[in-house]
Amino acid sequence: MDISDLTKLKNKEIVNDLRGWVDTIRHHGGLMFFELRDHETKVQIVTDNPEQFDNLKNEFYVSVTGNLVKRKKENVNKEVLFGDLEIELSNLEIISESKTLPFQIEDNIETDEQIRLKHRYLDIRRKEMNNNIIARSNTFKSIREVMNKLNINELDTPTLIKSTPEGAKDFIVPSRKSPGTFYALPQSPQMYKQLFMLSGLKNYYQIAKCYRDEDSRKDRQPEFTQLDIEISNGDPKTVQKIIESTMKHVLKTVYSIEVKTPFTKITYDEAMSLYGTDKPDLRIKETITDFTNIFMDTEISFIKETIKNNGTVRGFLINKLLSRSEIDNLDELLKNEGSPGLGWFKIENKKVSGPLAKILNEKENNELVKNDNCTMLFQSGKQAESSHYLDTLRRKIYSIPSENSYEFVWIDDFPYFEIENGELQPSHHPFTSPKDTSEFLSNPNDAKALHYDLVLNGIELGSGSQRINDPKLQKEVLSKWGLSETEINDRFGWFIEALSYGSPQHAGFAVGIDRFIAEMMNADSIRDVIPFPKTQSGLDPLNNAPSNLSILELQEYNISIESIENEE
Ligand code: ASP
């Protein structure tokens, strides 16, 4: 019997063998109370014979027998779910004792995360964590409901694969049977799901584990979960419709939230010019304004230089007069992110003030005083560089109107390549179709891709693309990316071969499920919605993974470890 089944019993009826953990023991006026907690809820137990239960401690797992009492109205504890019920204890059997706890099983604890992860099974006994894990399970269930309704095949793919890095570094697994060779764990099932399309399957989905060995980045996990989808004869529109139906269904069934479809759609270029980011939070309605035209004949030297170099002067006109310290704080925030500084003017009673006000020419002054009692904040420079600071500024100066609104937006028409850490990288992955093949072949660095992202409240939920189904073009893309003929053949030859036997057009998408649940549950980090996550540095405090292997074990894999001295 579960605690929630107690509501089916009558007053004074006997409750036999109700099991759970002892939670919060209290003594009051010769009575002893404790709450019995099961996987779902709690109920109060009372005894007038406390001496008999002297040895009882928090988190003992017990079986309770006693009389159910429906409390009088005035005694009902409205704060708790079964606050109108109580059990008068007649017998208690201790099934399993508990050691002293490393932290209390209650919400809002301030315990170090390291300790919570070391005892994750205790951490998940806490209601807030338990709710997150149940929401995760319900999300999986709900995803499967939509996928079944849409008749999409659930198919699995291997996790020991050939190393073909997709952007991050691979996790590698040594092969014992072929010493000196290695499998990799998949960064995503990308090529396998495409192979399903080449194998004549109509569609595919999988709730897939992905592994990326990245340098510690905030709120990333080396191992994470995706809803991975691929559709034969699909294009961006088909795929986006499926993802919209999925989101709508999951939000409704798991989180009781109605969202309208189709979702808003904007291009990458629009996103960068209006919001300064490809992950805009559309709960904030204010967008970036381009002030460049005001300064075409300026005498302000750094702005003059910007305009000469095809840069822009962009920012926000705020309908209030910010104080000097408010402006200084924003300036510092941007400088910490690398900005050369925040430009500003205040317009008060039709008079412009600010460090640059004296250098304004008449035309500029006349333009600015068209507004009154407001503050203009701006960044001057190359659009690509200033966008980031304007995104930060926008999210700082405008508050989010409602925490409980959910603004989805599709971003499409991404550039094919981008520069990441000084290196040319496909902005999605190299299996993405260029938007226009001839444009791509003649000028790959400026070409667009059939790549689309889904963003929810400023968080990138997932990415997808239409795929290349022409082996020649696939080779061409890999070579424009900078791979040599030999690298292409070694790493991707098998895949290009597979594309060479009549390949249907196909497109797909992957949703980062951890991030999605974290957003829906208002969790601080994705670690709070993953049952057994790793720390920021990739360690598992629960069992100290990764750990050493003995020399004998390593020998079986033909591996020897040389200690690496730190070179000063
Ligand atoms: N494999 C891609 C990723 O993990 C998603 C896709 O293109 O379907 O981002």
* Alpha carbon of 188 to ligand 1 centroid (Å): 7
For residue 216, pLDDT beyond 50: yes
> Which atom of ligand 1 approaches the CA of 467 most closely?
7
Which amino acid residue places its CA nearest to atom 1 of ligand 1? 190
Other CB atoms within a 10 A radius of the CB of residue 303 amount to 25
User: Which pLDDT does position 565 carry in this prediction?
Assistant: 59
Task: Give the full edge-to-edge strand order of the sheet including 223-232.
Answer: 203-211, 223-232, 506-512, 459-466, 451-456, 408-412, 264-267
How many domains in the chain?
A: 3
Position 188 in a domain: yes
**Whole-Å CA distances, 349 to 81, 356, 368:** 58, 18, 12
DSSP string, 242-276: HHHHHHHHHHHHHH-----SSPEEEEHHHHHHHHS
Instruction: Check whether residue 298 and residue 265 sit in a common domain.
Output: no
Q: pLDDT (tens digit, 9 = 90+) per residue, 471-505? A: 999 999 999 999 999 999 999 999 999 999 999 99
Q: pLDDT (tens digit, 9 = 90+) per residue, 231-277? A: 999 999 999 999 999 999 999 999 999 999 999 999 999 999 999 99
Mean pLDDT, residues 168-184 taken together? 94
What's the rounded Cα separation, in Å, for the pair 343 and 345?
7
* Alpha carbon of 467 to ligand 1 centroid (Å): 11
Instruction: Check whether residue 155 and residue 200 sit in a common domain.
Output: yes
Q: pLDDT (tens digit, 9 = 90+) per residue, 13-47? A: 999 999 999 999 999 999 999 999 999 999 999 99
The CATH number of the domain where 410 resides is what?
3.30.930.10
What's the rounded Cα separation, in Å, for the pair 428 and 416?
8
Instruction: Check whether residue 153 and residue 86 sit in a common domain.
Output: no
Q: pLDDT (tens digit, 9 = 90+) per residue, 189-202? A: 999 999 999 999 99
What's the rounded Cα separation, in Å, for the pair 468 and 487?
19
User: Which pLDDT does position 75 carry in this prediction?
Assistant: 82
Instruction: Check whether residue 293 and residue 264 sit in a common domain.
Output: no
Structure tokens at 92: 């208690």
Alpha helices in 436-512 (DSSP H): 437-442, 471-481, 485-487, 493-498
User: Which pLDDT does position 566 carry in this prediction?
Assistant: 55
Residues with CB under 6 A from ligand 1: 188, 190, 463-465, 508-510
For residue 292, pLDDT beyond 90: yes
Whether pTM > 0.95 for this model: the answer is: no
Instruction: Check whether residue 180 and residue 264 sit in a common domain.
Output: yes
For residue 157, pLDDT beyond 80: yes
CB–CB of 50/32 below 8 Å?
yes
Which amino acid residue places its CA nearest to atom 4 of ligand 1? 188
* Alpha carbon of 508 to ligand 1 centroid (Å): 7
- CA torsion 223-237-451-143 (nearest 10°) is -10
CB–CB of 48/74 below 8 Å?
no
Average pLDDT value for the chain: 95
Which amino acid residue places its CA nearest to atom 9 of ligand 1? 463
What's the rounded Cα separation, in Å, for the pair 37 and 21?
5
Instruction: Check whether residue 376 and residue 425 sit in a common domain.
Output: no
Alpha helices in 150-275 (DSSP H): 190-198, 236-255, 268-275
Position 524 in a domain: yes
The CATH number of the domain where 24 resides is what?
2.40.50.140
Mean pLDDT, residues 374-403 taken together? 93
User: Which residues, 6 or more positions from 208, have their beta carbon under 8 angstroms from its beta carbon?
Assistant: 157, 186, 188, 189, 225, 226, 227, 228, 510
Residue to probe by mutation, ligand 1, list 195, 463, 513, most atoms within 8 Å of CB? 463
Instruction: Check whether residue 441 and residue 513 sit in a common domain.
Output: yes
Instruction: Check whether residue 155 and residue 231 sit in a common domain.
Output: yes
**Whole-Å CA distances, 213 to 57, 220, 224, 428, 489:** 43, 10, 11, 17, 24
* Alpha carbon of 509 to ligand 1 centroid (Å): 6
Position 254 in a domain: yes
> Which atom of ligand 1 approaches the CA of 509 most closely?
8
Type of residue found at 542 = L
Instruction: Check whether residue 375 and residue 305 sit in a common domain.
Output: yes
Residue to probe by mutation, ligand 1, list 188, 223, 506, most atoms within 8 Å of CB? 188
> Which atom of ligand 1 approaches the CA of 210 most closely?
4
For residue 167, pLDDT beyond 80: no
* Alpha carbon of 505 to ligand 1 centroid (Å): 16
Question: How many Cα atoms sit within 13 Å of 426 on the Cβ side?
Answer: 27
* Alpha carbon of 117 to ligand 1 centroid (Å): 29
**Whole-Å CA distances, 227 to 95, 139, 166, 243, 508:** 40, 11, 18, 10, 11
> Which atom of ligand 1 approaches the CA of 432 most closely?
7
Mean pLDDT, residues 367-393 taken together? 96
* Phi, psi torsion values for 65, nearest 5 degrees: -125, 140
For residue 101, pLDDT beyond 50: yes
For residue 135, pLDDT beyond 50: yes
Instruction: Check whether residue 245 and residue 371 sit in a common domain.
Output: no
Which amino acid residue places its CA nearest to atom 7 of ligand 1? 464
Type of residue found at 493 = G
> Which atom of ligand 1 approaches the CA of 228 most closely?
8
Position 279 in a domain: no
> Which H, E and C letters describe 16-77, residue by residue?
EEEEEEEEEEEEECCEEEEEEECCCCEEEEEECCHHHHCCCCCCCEEEEEEEEEECCHHHCC
The CATH number of the domain where 345 resides is what?
3.30.1360.30
pLDDT category at 568 given cuts 50, 70, 90 is very low
Position 141 in a domain: yes
Q: pLDDT (tens digit, 9 = 90+) per residue, 448-465? A: 999 999 999 999 999 999
For residue 122, pLDDT beyond 50: yes
CB–CB of 107/126 below 8 Å?
yes
Instruction: Check whether residue 435 and residue 462 sit in a common domain.
Output: yes
* Residue 341 belongs to domain spanning: 288-382
pLDDT category at 443 given cuts 50, 70, 90 is very high
Instruction: Check whether residue 66 and residue 17 sit in a common domain.
Output: yes
- Our measurement of the distance from residue 494's CA atom to the centroid of its chain's CA atoms, rounded to an integer in Å, reads 33
Strand pairing partners for 169?
213
For residue 564, pLDDT beyond 90: no
Mean pLDDT, residues 337-361 taken together? 96
Position 220 in a domain: yes
* Alpha carbon of 258 to ligand 1 centroid (Å): 27
Which residue, 382, 398, 431, sits at the end of a domain? 382
